[in-house]
Structure 1
Amino acid sequence: MNQLPLVASHIDWRTVFDAMKDPAMILDLEYRIVVANASMEQMAGLAQEQLVGRHCYEVFYGVNEPPEGCPYSLLIRSHTDLPVSLVMECQDKMFSVAVTALHDSEGRGIGTLNVAKEITEQKMVEAILRRSLRVQRMVTHCNQALVRIEDENELLATICQIMVDQGGYRLAWIGYGLDDENSTVLPKASAGYEEGYIDTLKLTWADTERGRGPTGSAIRTGRPVICRDIGLDPNFSIWRAEAQQRDFSASIALPLPLRSGRGALNLYAAESSAFDEQEVHLLKQLADDLAYGISVIRNQESYRHTVRALRDSEKKYRSLIANAYDAIILVDAESGFVLEANAAAERLLGRSQAEIVGMHRNEFCPGVDSELCQKILTCQPQGLHNLPEDMYVVRGEGRLIPVQVSASVVTVGSKKVIQGIFRDIGQKKQAEERLSRAQKMESLGALAGGIAHDFNNILSPILGYAELCLSMVDPSDKLHAFMGEILAATHRAKDLVRQIQTFSRKGEQESHPLLIQTIVKEALKFLRSSLPATIELHVDLDVAGGYVLCDPAQIHQMIMALCTNAYQAMLAKGGDLTVILRRVMVGGEHQVVPGLSPGSYLCLTVQDTGIGIAGHDISRIFEPYFSTKGPGEGTGMGLAVVDGIVRQCGGVVEVESQLGQGTTFRVYLPEIVDKVVPTEEDAVIGLSTGNQHILLVDDEPVVVTTMERMLTTLGYQVTSASDGLAALDIFQSQPDVFALVLTDQTMPRMSGIDLARGVLSLRPGLPVIILSGYEYLNSEDELATSGIKAFLRKPVGLAELARTLTRILTGD
């Protein structure tokens, strides 16, 4: 028999209502509780009588009006009888609330049936699943970024942005621990709701108060640090206020195990439930992957930097080689063949780079240096540098060039290469030779100056007495002619001494009108004695030649240089040396000489029948230090000096030469037309005289005697002294007696300059004349400063002495 009707008759709706495991209650239209089942009483923690009549939102939410999302309100606003279901949070639990409308017998709404099913655990599982999926999705995007991005800063910024966008974190940032004295944590990238938060951190990874937070501890210990409740964690107290202002509830700091350096990945979440075990596990893997990715990027960047540096280094090396002043030649260590050469090597060897590359080292090393070249340009221990060696290399045209070579071994691939650096030391050797010659010349100059001084003292009485005798003898007397010859010879000796002094002093030359025939004759006399018997000298001098404005010592030097070159060109086979002097006209209807203006010139021709000069050398023979002779056979300065002297005189030099037939030099010097030059004999006539008292000072007795005779002949009174101190004593005893002091410069105990200073201190303005056998080296400014009025070179002639004294004493 069916028992269901019987059971149904004994069960009412309240029994069923209370038997429901899910909390349920009936509300009237005013949200008041009409009835609640036992489960609802248990959930609310109140008895039936405490619930009935109270508003549901007052009981469960403690508010005075329905909360946002109230299902009853939704049902009323929907204007439908269909049930409404909604998830709500109440008393820290999650519920799925189903609301069904209740009607009376007439169909009018009288309230609602509200059934709540707790789904807290389900929601938690769903939330965990969603968070896990979110983190996994985030990790996937981060891994894609790790594969794709090659720049470290871009990678860090992208990872932070992905963690915020895909991971749902409120803030993500990455910091590196520095090795400075404060162990500073330097933020490198961030994304999310930061709003200046990172600037307030001022973190360190040292074991200090600011280093014991999550970031500093993670970097220092190498372990993740989780702060599940920022509001309560004591290690977060320094930064708590700033964090809570930005709704940060939990954080995690994950160490980045970098191969070089240290760092941390920092995440902040709004939920305190964040960072469960599974999430932390995924984040740790991500941090490890990020650290590895950073290391890979750094390695790649280091590699790219190394490659760039190598390329730059190679470019710089090639640029340095290409632009190096020294010749650089790379030689295969085993075969000895040239692999590479720079532009300087082309200039040094006189060959193109194409010619040099492929040459054997012995091809540019002369036989005399072949062993040394092989020693330098052969394989040696790696990195060993040869000490510089001096040797010669052969240019393309066969000329030897002195070089200094140093070499080192370098490895190119598997091949050992010798890098030879060749420095042209031709100029250095020339400089050394010039210095050696200059030192020799200086020594010879000092010797020549001393000899000239002594010789001038010897000439002084000869010249003085000859002029005195000439003035006393009747011109018709034979003795007058004899004395004239003595006087002429003395002047030639005087000019010779001046040449020696010019050689020794290296000073300015004095040009004056001169008949060069005499100098040519004297030079050829000197040269004739040195010519071998195989060379015949022919001389043709125009005695009617005019005057030339020049320095006699320079003209003598020029003639000697041209004639020496000529006879040296004929030493091997002998020949004829011809010297011709002619007056010629240039310009107009006469011959044209390049570089000369129309006018009258003296042409000196020096011709030889020697070996001649090659055509390609003709244009260089006047260059300083250029020589076609072998080492030790010439300085290369002779013709350069000749060219300089001729140019100084306003002339030019022409040269013609043919190999095997000889060479001709023509020197054109401008003639001084209508220039009257008085002879010494004429100058003696009509001498200026005086009667003043002169203090004469010289340490050579013969010079004192001669000068006394000359001065008294001119009418002057003379008091003489043998040195400066004696003269100063005489002057101090009677300073107003003397009208002029005539003193030698080089004397024992006191020089002429010092004597001048002494007498001028006693009597300012007194005229003082310096007389010396040396070529005076003091400047005109120094002479003027010392009060010196004039300087006379020994031996001084009577006429020159008379003119100088008259000029100084009378002011004419």
Structure 2
Amino acid sequence: MARSLPCFDDLLVSDALPALVIGDDALEGCNTAAQELFGADTGHLCRLPLATFLPAVQPDGGESLRAWRERVEAARGGLTQWFLWQFVRNDGGLIDALVHLEVEPPKDRPAGRALRSPVRARLRDLTRFRGIEWSRMQQALAGTAAIVFAKDSEGRYLFANRQFAEMTGRPLEEVLGRRDVEVLPAELAEECRRNDSLVLAERRPLDFEEHGAIDGERRIYLTLKFPLLRADGSAYGVWGIATDITARKRTEEALHHAALAVSQADGEGLVQALTRYLATILNVDIALIGVIEGEGDGRMVRTIGRFGDGVYLENFSYPLNTTPCQTVLEGFRCYRSGVSEAFPDSRGLRPQGIEGYAGYPLRGSDGQLLGVIAVLSRTPLEDEALIESVLKIFAGRAAGEIERRRAEDALRTSEASYRAMFDASEDAILVHDWDTGAIVDVNPKACRAYGYTAEEMRGLLPAQLSSGEYPFTKETADRLIERAKDGVPTSLEWHRRNKDGSLHWDEVHIKPAEIAGKRRILAFTREITARKLAEQALRESEEQYRSIFNASVDGMVLFNSAGQVVDVNEAFARMHGFEMEALIGGDCERFVPEERRADCKRMVRAALAGNPVRGESVACRFGGSTFVVEVHAVPMQYRNEPHVLAIVRDLTERKREDARRAQLEAQLRQAQKMEAIGHLTGGIAHDFNNLLASIMGYVVLAAERQATLGDARLGRYLEQAQVSCERARDLIRQMLTFSRGQRGEPRPLALGAAVRDATKLLRASFPSTVEMQADLDAELPAVLIDPVQLEQVLLNLCINARDAMQANGTVRVAAGWRHGYRGVCTSCRQSVEGDFVELAVTDTGPGIPAPVLDRIFEPFFSTKEVGKGSGMGLATVHGIVHDHRGHVVVESADGAGATFRVLLPPLDPAIEGSRVGTRAPAAARNAFEPLRGRVLLVDDEASVLGFMSELLENWGLEVVAVGDPVEAHRRVANGDIAFDLVLADQTMPRLTGTELARSVATLRPEVPILLYTGYRDGVSQAELSAGGIRAVLDKPVDPVALHAQLQRHLGRSDVSPTLA
């Protein structure tokens, strides 16, 4: 209640409480205190309907009479309740009361009352008990079975009764002043906190189910919480009354499962299924259903379903009088324990260790004893009330199944008799007396349909089976009987009422007949409730269809079987630019282009044939413009006639978005594929670099020896080998750069001259059957590109051209100026626009098919035979060109060859360019001045360590060569070796070059340190400074650069770090 309540001082202290005995919507009695409270005597109060004492709504907005009935029914179900309520006095004044509602004990039930249990309500007048001391209230609440507590707005306990302390397992002094989280399990404490906050926020009483684990067991409490309000209406606390409903919840759940199991069981195995469900729900070891056969002391129980220990058991028969089953013939019986001792002659109980037994009789619809249903347990049974309720539910279903089986047996034994046909009729048949109209006979179908036994139906008048609602009344029924007597067969729909009060629709045929020499009135009835409901559902469905039809954002058009438009919604008319009235009555010609009208008509015919149609089509608007639509045509019944509903969606915007999405996805896939190459090159580059370093080193040594011998031809050979090694070194450097996602070393380059030099090398490697042509513009603007990578691009494109022509044809290489180009890059799928310097490679091969053209830039994609192509050539071209902000455009046609156009942005003329430098002659490179000093050389690669040692010694240096960086560090730290300079590799196991340099610099800061690496970008300036490194050389090491650095740093310690 939202109204302000008094302080709850001693509300429950008085024994002379107003008490009401509540029947069905009326008072059955009240005490003197109640008469005083309501201002009227008992006679007056009991004559008035209960609604007289209730306002229309409670202060919380709930309907008084409905809510009161729900609480009374809950009390009859065993739920004792505390709640705040408002009543109306006889003089119209309002009473605010705290109500205690419980079922009245049987001994207090007034004589002559109805069988339904009355409910007793005790009222506490809140106004009347103001000012009573808190201590007296504590004494009163300590004796109640409910859990009672009070908290302040911060959640601290101000009061708790003894039941609360017992629930928490704490003394009251450990509860008061503490919050929920300090006295309750965490889950329950959090739930209580949320519910308290809700009560304080809404300032009205609220009911909650609160859950938590108490002493390891899951408990459920039904809690009424209401706010404690100050005079100004603000809340200062929460008062709560909780009842433990765990057992009731468990019972409800078990009964729910039982009812569900009974409703689901069906078919020939129904009885077996019932035993399995029963054993599972009650958690017993054995469940059985048996029929009683024989008479007197010789009666036997023959089981028709038995389940035990997780399996179905074989049926058998046993004597009734030696078992506990004999004690349940008149009603439920339960032996919670000791049943084996109670029935020692029962041969099956003791051997199986049975301790507990419960059984329920099976009776037919006429009350006849049919058999028993029982459960057996090897442990004592606990919840007797629950077991009885579950057995009662299962007993009804089992008895019905036994009756069904017996009825089937009876029908099979009387095939030729009138009674068999009468009883077996699928229609309910009622035989009426000619004079009175009373029922004299019915078939079983009528009993099942109406819910009566045959005996109960005999003597009933037609009016007693009518709903009573006009026109289905006694007068109408009597007229129909009289009409049948006149010999007029009558058929009609009739609204009847079953024994349980439920209403049904029947189709009834009435006619006179003579049976056994007596005139009778026969009524054949067939239930049509489902049909009537279906008709109602159809009407509702049509209303729903109309609502959906009009509200849909998709266009909808309804065609009849002739293909005419019956209806359109506003969305369809707006989509096509017509008024709705202009479309109805015509065919599809107004909104479908002429070339698509035949398709539209075929769609309607197909849907009418029961085949839904979905697809894309083209529609037209009022002005004649067309647009793409998605159409879904389905058959449907409209006003009992076949129609076709077509749902139309404008795809214009979606098509535009799909095209954009496809373009973006293609770009993303291409970028992902091209990224794969970077992860494959770095793995081999380091080892190959070490091999190349050794080869180059020994070539240098051979060149130095050749200078001594003076063999000119050998000098040319070695110079060519040196040039090739340096080109290989540059290539490996590019591989390492590419594998780390970095660009090479772009420099201003005249494209024509660079391509001319590269083409000369290519001509020498191509067979004579391939003609190389070059068309190079010498006046082209410079481009910014790595020279080695440019050679790779040209090499890959020319090799692809050669292989495409099968080494027979013409390859044309051109370099020129491309003004105002507009197009799409074949490799990255992006739009390309602007002025470019173009490198084009054209072949006279068969051309590239379109499916292949979409994939040629994927890594490892190749159309060549296995072993004849890696599939990496064009992927490399893609990476290099796009790293230099360029694009690749491929033009090809079947039988007309292919042209690959590499488009590179021209270099800004304001930037001063430079051309690729030339190498010094080998003779100049070999003229090294002698050096002096002692060098500590550290490299884990033995071949590199060997040639470097020999190279340095040839230059006049003493060398201490160490193959393990950790060993080198140890020897330096121990002072085992003397040296003037350290030369080390960067990439070594356990200790990198920079890490070794830091440790040496700490020990010998005056010694210069040189580092060589296959990937200089991996070494930062900060690492160089930290390690005292004076220079970093590329690997394979260029002897000229190495000699220069050694010459520069030996004997000096004031030189800044450099990248050589």
Q: Bin the TM-score by the shorter chain.
A: 0.3 to 0.5
The structure showing larger relative contact order (alpha-carbon pairs under 8 Å, at least 6 residues apart) is 1
Q: Using structure 1 for the length normalisation, give the TM-score.
A: 0.43
